[in-house]
Structure 1
Amino acid sequence: MNKKSIRDIDVNGKKVFIRVDFNVPMDENQNITNDKRIRATLPTLNYLLEHNAALILACHVGRPKGQRVPELSVKPIVKRLSELLGKEVKYAEDCVGEAAEKAAADLKPGEVLLLENLRYHNEETKNNPEFAKQLASLADVAVDDAFGVSHRAHASNAGIAQYVEVVAGFLIEKEIQFIGTALSNPQRPFVAIIGGAKVSDKIGVISNLLEKADAVVIGGGMANTFLAAQGKGIGSSLFEEEKLPLAKELLAKAEEKGVKVFLPAEVVVADKFAADANHKTVSVDEVPADWMILDNKFSKECEDAVKNAKTIVWNGPMGVFEFDAFAKGTEEIAHAVAESEGTSIVGGGDSIAALKKTGLSDKISHISTGGGATLEFLEGKPMPGIAAIADK
């Protein structure tokens, strides 16, 4: 995707509207508990400040559904962003209307303004043209750096492009570069690793990747459905019975296309769903009738395929990762991905948490900032936020 970025425009002395993803977790006292998303945009913000722009930032927090919910205010973010940038960040008590217009008009090059929660207005998620026009009127140019909402057609990332040119910030540019290239022109062998609880959540992703990958590793709870589709006994494990025909269909599609599918060779089974459950490792052909599969272990052939891959996409854990006894499969995959010398792309909260836990994050080429956005990108669905960015 050949999209314009902030490098391609002159921002000197200009007011720049920037859609960021600052939807950060906060505790009951509105203290930010993880500022990773704020930090991720600092390269974009610092570049624009160094090039003498005035920055007007817009974001959402939570789902206030058009109401002014005090607990979902951006005020705690104003404070944290000021600390991270080492300069005062101004605050506007609304994102449109008189307060926003005056704050934006008074803003000088080198200054930063954060507008109040976009989703205090239903017009944002409804992509209301008049609302988008009001946002656009605050600035000379717009920057989209919020990959986490790029699968949504909202006023601040899609509608605004009707009224002002939108270019990519460094964060969204990196997502397009890594994930876009993996899907359109991957270096081979290309291995996709898909985990998580349900096949139904990732049908489109698996189906799309079967068109593009050389091998697909399927783990997590969804592997139970595929094992059952192969006629394996899965004991009392949770699986999606109604998806058995689909699992068979996907396995047949893989065979037809010559795509190698790796399912678990061994599984860790437990006598109950609990951190302290009795557990043991057994072959996939020997799952006890009244035990459940809570973790997956893969063959050496699978491990080698991952290590030797030139492109890897990983989304979703291999087991019940939150219980230490059932985190080993995910950790083993994390090590295999980290040992690959190819391009590795990891998305999804649990996969990222596994990397962090194993201290392997710096061995990964790209850790995606999007949850649902990453999945929809991998699925090949339209991405309205990306489509709205001007082409070069």
Structure 2
Amino acid sequence: MPPDDQTRVILSLLQEEGHGDYINGNFIRGTDGSQAYIATQGPLPHTLLDFWRLIWEFGVKVILMACQEMENGRKKCERYWALQQEPLQIGPFCITLTREMWLNPDIKLRILQVTFQKESRSVSQLQYMSWPDRGVPSNPDNVLAMVEKARHLQGSGPNPLCVHCSAGCGRTGVLCTVDYVRQLLLTQMIPPNFSLFSVVLEIRKQRPLAIQTEEQYRFLYHTVSQMFLSAIQNASPHYQNLKENCVPLYDDALSLWTSQNLNAIARPSSGVLRSISVPGPPALSMADTYAVVQKRAAPAGTGAGAGARARGTEDTPLYSQVTPRAWRHQALSEDARGAQQGRVPVDESLAGPGAYEDVADRAQTGGLGFNLRIGRPKGPRDPPAEWTRV
């Protein structure tokens, strides 16, 4: 898939005969509008030099790799890093491996020393070893660990993260989006009308086909939900027991989408969290009735009449019990009950054989843009028009 011309990475280092300015990569803006990510294709045998030109020219300190060299018996990416005791020479670049370690069962960290024209730099590479092509990891924990480690290695500099898989589209887009939303949370820049769907569309404007499949979108949806839940829990001790009162977010994603208890989870009033369907804080424990203070008029005068009125006022109870409307009308129709419980009726006329179902499977998604039905993805070279139309 060729890069978008508007955001294409243009190389200038070593621009001489035989060294063009092209590489299959795009810049993706970060939360502050800067060129925070370079989403690129995994290096091929004839693009190894171009890849290291990109790394050196834009001062990349951290590379995120979401594929393996070989997947399902097919070559997916050329090895561009050195092995132990085996330096790798690519054109004028000399790459040596100074350290290699497993961060967890899925992620390997390599510290590379790159030398060019007597200048030497350290470049870190994080490789996710078990992420299937056009698929998703088993859970979001290690993906979150990967982007957190990347930011720790990156430091506070303005240099972009280089992110790639095989084609630099689906898995690459997931990683960029996860880190983008994480940065929004860390900088407290989440807008009131936050929509994960809009974030994905914006990233796809900059890197074609970023996040290719419905399965990848669902995984991204629940990874972001987990980030929001963690942010809520860390923000206030009031929410420390939130998980105990909510359906698990990703232990079993399918059970979450179809859970009969999902409609009963209290939703927060904030549009920010509602837009990604994060379970809200548990409702205050209350009985079926509650007290209401009666408003009393001030005495209008004095004398016997006033005294009688005062006695009448005193006879009026200060408090009265009010039964919630949902309990007063037990004979409501099924549709009315569904509306009170937060269910959103689905317009079945919009569905079709090539349409998505709602992310939460008819449960309330609280305004998520993905409720707009779009065509089922047909592959990296034949995407649905609605995904790429801007």
Q: What is the TM-score with the length of structure 2 in the denominator?
A: 0.28
TM-score relative to the length of structure 1: 0.28
User: Normalized per residue, which structure has more helix?
Assistant: 1
Query: Greater CA radius of gyration, 1 or 2?
Result: 2
